[in-house]
Amino acid sequence: MSVTEKTGARTDEAAAVITGARERIDALDDHIIGLVQERMAVSAVIQESRIASGGRRVSLNREMEVLARFRDALGKPGTALAMTMLELCRGRI
């Protein structure tokens, strides 16, 4: 497959821009995945500590704060993103 086919570009110049930008996106995605995994580990510490003390796994008030932070920064899709992230961190409820 040619570079232009791979990128959807119609010129070599555009294909070069897209290829370079996709490398940056791949690096950013690796970083984001690493941060999500780090967040999952920190969240697990909180949940285990709360459960060990006799509390519940879930803190709905705190989840509302997390959802609001993402919504304020990213709009409605930010809420969906935060909900998926919370599901990764505490499982389905």
Neighbouring residues of 51: CB distance < 8 A, sequence distance ≥ 6: 57
Q: Which candidate, 43, 49, 46, places its Cα nearest to that of 82?
A: 43
- For residue 26, give both structure tokens: 């791949």
* Contact code string over 1-40 relative to ligand PRE, x by CB under 6 A: ----------------------------------------
User: Does residue number 83 form part of the binding site for ligand PRE (CB under 6 A)?
Assistant: no
User: Does residue number 86 form part of the binding site for ligand PRE (CB under 6 A)?
Assistant: yes
User: Does residue number 63 form part of the binding site for ligand PRE (CB under 6 A)?
Assistant: yes
Q: For ligand PRE, which residue of 9, 14, 66, 80 counts as binding (CB under 6 A)?
A: 66
Give dist(CA 22, CA 14) in Å, integer. 12
Which amino acid type is present at position 10? R
State the nearest-atom distance from the C-beta of 5 to ligand PRE, in Å. 42
